[in-house]
Chains A and B, each alone.
Chain A
Amino acid sequence: MTTGTGNTELYSGLHSPVHRLNPKSKIVVLIAFIVLCSTIGSFSPVLYGAYLVFLTAVFIFSGIPLLYIIKRLSVILFLVIIVAGFTPFIRHLPGENALAVISGSIKLYRTGLMVFLNILVRVCLSVSALLILILTAPFTELMEGFAELKVPALIVNIINLTYRYLSVITDEALRMKRAAVSRGYSGRWLWHAGAVGRITGSLFLRSYERSERVYYAMLSRGYTGIMFSKKTLPLRRTDWFFIGVSLFYIAGIRLAV
């Protein structure tokens, strides 16, 4: 049940007004948005309409191509249908009349349909917000933002290293897989998992050895536990404006409706 992966660093180098915001302010606002949006208990057109307006505004100022968001949402849509698609036909209040009878015992209920719609809309809005967050800042700046928001430095350092070596080790894995394919591995049968096991085993050994060499390289340059020079980015007036207006709007409407 994976929602698909894509290269999100594609658009992090753009220079839109949203890109220029301090990562901290984007983290605070968009995570608040996701928390508030994903916990809406019942379908409310007014509330979702207001949230859609907010997110659309942020999206328009972000310069991200609409097509990319739609592509990612279509994968999510598929997932919503698989996971929640049965609900409209099953979930109903005791004694509730069916909206429609599809065939025989399969009936469509209003209660279930509303639950499904609610999930569908809140998932799409939340996922779009998350996409906007990670597409409008380079990953390392995002992590600096999290570090300034008091996420433990140890965790941030490890995550930065993971990010640094992600592409290096993934490349290594794909090279090994290609070598296996050239020797007849097709990946068509379950027992080919054995070949994947062997590839993964050597990949672990190589990764472990690399971590030793990286550690030596760090020690050689005087490593004592400090990983990077943190340059604190101050929040500017536009950041405070963005945080203030956004939080007021998304929290205010949630409370009012």
Chain B
Amino acid sequence: MHIPDGFVSGQINAAAFAVTAAVGAVAVAKAKKSLKEKQVPLLGITAAFVFAAQMLNFPIAGGTSGHFLGALLAMILLGPLNGFLVMSIVITVQCLVFADGGITALGTNIFNMGLIAGLGGYVVFRFLLAVLPFIFKGGTLGDRDGKSNKAGEVREVISSDVSGSINMKNPERAGWLLPSVAVASWFSVVTASAFCALELALSGTSPFGIVFPAMVGVHSLIGIGEAVITTGVVSIVFAARPELVPVWGKVLRTRMGDN
């Protein structure tokens, strides 16, 4: 999904650059204000982590392979604005070290993979986390949510439940965290690819009727891998060091508050 220079029209690149620069400025200002000093090694090294994780290819079908994007993962692990910064840095480094993705298309690539896949995916994730328990309330799966739990208790359940392995078969025990992560990360990759196709079509580079179904189709498959990996990482990090991710405490408290 890394668009090189020359594929997308100047107007689209300029517009995407303006939008991402604005979001980037907010994120930098926030990072400067909160924990400025600690932020630098944390963001720098997690960006290197996302980069390394993207190198671990997984196969999809017919001999092609997809690779992990990690946009939603970065948002969940670091919070949305820091996650956005990390994705922007990953994409910039890929452009400036490996010429992977163009420099005039930098704004467009960050727009697709940082803003749409990252922040967009994160909005979907939070939405699902809030809404899923309501939908299934009273159903066979909703027992757990009926009880008045404290966030800590839920966390304990999840930690003891998933200890090192992915557990999507047990949503009523693991809470709605992992299913929400899975759906949102699939969605994040597919939406980003849809925007990518849209930009190529609007630039007159490829006909919409071909590029859109092709991109979205391939990425619906890649999205499954993305969902499996993201869920795996989230469950492992949650089991091993839940205190690392303050966002989750908040998410779970919000979730419990909703019930």
Contact = CB atoms under 8 A, between A and B. Distances in A.
Contact of A162 (B32, B51, B58, B234): B51
B44 A162 contact: yes
B47 interface: yes
Contact of B237 (A133, A152, A204): A204
A255 B83 CA distance: 41
Nearest to A124: B6
Contacts of B67: 2
Interface string A204-220: 11011011101100110
Contact of B5 (A38, A83, A115, A198): A38
A216 B64 CA distance: 43
A47 interface: no
A152 B240 CA distance: 35
Contacts of B234: 201
A256 interface: no
Contact of A159 (B1, B4, B93, B196): B93
Residue of A76, A79, A126, A211 contacting most chain B CB atoms (<10 Å): A211
Contacts of B217: none
Contacts of B1: 1-2
Contacts of A163: 48, 93, 97
A182 B63 CA distance: 22
Interface string A106-132: 000000000100010011111100110
Given A91-B207, A190-B60, A197-B228, A158 B96 contact: no
Interface in B44-61: 44-49, 51-53, 55-61
A80 B234 CA distance: 36
A5 to B, nearest CB: 4
Interface string A145-182: 00000001011011111111110111011100100000
B59 A192 contact: yes
B92 A159 contact: yes
B244 interface: yes
A214 B237 contact: no
Contacts of B209: 90
Nearest to B208: A90
A123 B6 contact: yes
Contacts, number: 273
B166 interface: yes
A9 B240 CA distance: 37
B236 A202 contact: yes
A241 to B, nearest CB: 24
Interface string B1-39: 111111101100100000000000000100110001110
Contacts of A250: none
Nearest to B225: A193
Q: How large is the interface on A (under 10, 10 to 19, 20 to 34, 35 or more residues)?
A: 35 or more
B230 interface: yes
B59 A190 contact: yes
Nearest to A217: B41
Interface stretch (B100-108, B128-136, B141-149, B151-159): B100-108
Residue of A76, A190, A219, A224 contacting most chain B CB atoms (<10 Å): A190
B202 interface: no
A119 B205 contact: yes
Nearest to A90: B207
Interface of B: 1-7, 9-10, 13, 28, 31-32, 36-38, 40-49, 51-53, 55-61, 67-68, 77, 85, 89-90, 92-104, 164-166, 196, 200, 204-207, 209-211, 215, 221, 224-225, 228-237, 240-241, 244
13 contacts: A38-B13, A38-B102, A80-B7, A126-B104, A127-B99, A130-B103, A158-B44, A159-B93, A162-B90, A197-B228, A197-B229, A201-B240, A211-B46
Given A38-B102, A187-B57, A207-B48, 5 more contacts: A119-B205, A161-B48, A164-B48, A173-B55, A190-B59
